[in-house]
Amino acid sequence: MRIRIGTRGSKLALWQAQHVKEMIEERSHHQAELVIIKTKGDKIQDTPLARIGGKGLFVKEIEKALLENRIDMAVHSMKDVPVELPGGLEIGAIPQREEPWDLLVVKEREHLQKLPKGAKVGTSSLRRQAQLLAQRPDLQIRPLRGNLDTRYRKLREGDLDAIVVALAGVKRLGINDLPHRVLSPQECLPAIGQGALAIEVRQGMWRETLQALHHPSTAVCIEAERAFLKCIGGSCQVPVAALGRMKNGILVLEGLIATPDGKMVLRGNLRGDPQVARDIGNRLAQELLAQGGKEVIRDLVG
């Protein structure tokens, strides 16, 4: 049977879907084909995501095709997938995660370690904005949308001094023609699910096929991160970050809630048995909410 894989049409989305297609064909007797579906997030390129609905902008149309049996499975960037899935759908597999870090890309090599005062930095992520401003309130944050090629072009040709993008996408597409350095989690804690893929299916479908693609350690970390986000009730209007990592069989989860101007940044971490990953995510979220996170969310969301 030929499996129809739904995907967005950007270079990165196609790379990700092709990667899953190749894994399926290598590890099962099935053949697969890609079906490109345009999402609302692809159509609106000139407005920050927080203003147009944020979560779900890059998956809703693909999920609709899945529910209507026009495709058999969907490949998403995990960070784009809302914590609540439509009825009848489930995450069937989470392959091994690519490096989750953010990447600072600069126009001038001499600015790689320290940007000049008042430097213009391009990002439309409130999470990145908050963490950058917490360390450097003098920076000028400029909105930046579009695929990776577009973002690099805007840095080369525009008046930006730097941009911040996900390392995973840069590695997957082999884009490395400008000076760059990886930001540590202390400098910029990643988005929930960053670097991971989600393979979404109709409930109960393709379980045997997808089992060969699933990476349990990645899935445990993602479970904790998404539980953290769900407990917070995070939206694209609130700078939120979390990263789960396995260390010697123990799950370590770091989390963050901040104000967009970076003047308040609440951070914490918890560790424990990976079998209770969801509980770890919930408990860390509750700790940060009690430390002032509730007020931050109330002021931003209302």
Domain extents in the chain: 1-95+196-214, 102-182, 215-302
In whole angstroms, give the CA distance from residue 2 to residue 202. Answer: 16
Judge contact between 227 and 283, C-beta under 8 A. no
Determine the pLDDT at residue 235. Answer: 67
Q: Residue 76 pairs with which residues in a beta bridge?
A: 198
Place of tokens 């967005």: 8
User: What CATH number does domain 1-95+196-214 carry, 3.40.190.10, 2.60.40.2310, 1.10.1040.10, 3.40.50.300?
Assistant: 3.40.190.10
Alpha helices (runs of H) in 158-215, residue ranges in sequence order:
167-173, 207-211
Indicate if the pLDDT at residue 251 is higher than 90.
Answer: yes
Residue among 66, 70, 100 nearest 200 (CA):
66
Determine the pLDDT at residue 24. Answer: 98
Determine the pLDDT at residue 57. Answer: 77
pLDDT average, residue stretch 198-207: 97
Determine the pLDDT at residue 54. Answer: 58
Which one has a higher pLDDT value, 236 or 203? 203
In whole angstroms, give the CA distance from residue 102 to residue 186. Answer: 11
Same fold, 1-95+196-214 and 102-182: yes
User: What CATH number does domain 215-302 carry, 3.40.50.10860, 3.30.70.20, 3.65.10.10, 3.30.160.40?
Assistant: 3.30.160.40
- The pair phi, psi for residue 149, each rounded to 5°, is -60, -45
Indicate if the pLDDT at residue 27 is higher than 90.
Answer: yes
In whole angstroms, give the CA distance from residue 176 to residue 32. Answer: 30
pTM of the shown model: 0.93
Determine the pLDDT at residue 49. Answer: 55
Left, alpha or beta for 118 (phi > 0: left; psi -120 to 50: alpha)? left
Strand 31-36 to strand 2-7: parallel, antiparallel, or no bridges (unpaired)?
Answer: parallel
CB count within 10 Å of CB 134 equals: 19
Cα dihedral: 23, 147, 41, 6 (round 10): -20
* Top-tier CATH class for 102-182: alpha beta
Name, in order, each residue with C-beta under 8 angstroms of 276's C-beta and a sequence gap of 6 or more: none
Indicate if the pLDDT at residue 242 is higher than 60.
Answer: yes
Determine the pLDDT at residue 167. Answer: 97
Place of tokens 């914590």: 83
Judge contact between 130 and 239, C-beta under 8 A. yes
User: Predicted confidence band at 177 (pLDDT cuts at 50, 70, 90)?
Assistant: confident
User: Predicted confidence band at 44 (pLDDT cuts at 50, 70, 90)?
Assistant: low
Catalytic residues: 80
Indicate if the pLDDT at residue 41 is higher than 80.
Answer: no
Cα dihedral: 124, 129, 131, 135 (round 10): 140
pLDDT average, residue stretch 3-29: 97
Determine the pLDDT at residue 195. Answer: 98
| Pairs from 34-40 (Cβ < 8 Å, separation ≥ 24) | 34/5, 34/7, 35/4, 35/5, 35/6, 35/7, 35/65, 35/70, 35/71, 36/7, 36/8, 36/9, 37/6, 37/7, 37/8, 37/9, 37/61, 37/62, 37/65, 37/71, 38/8, 38/9, 39/8
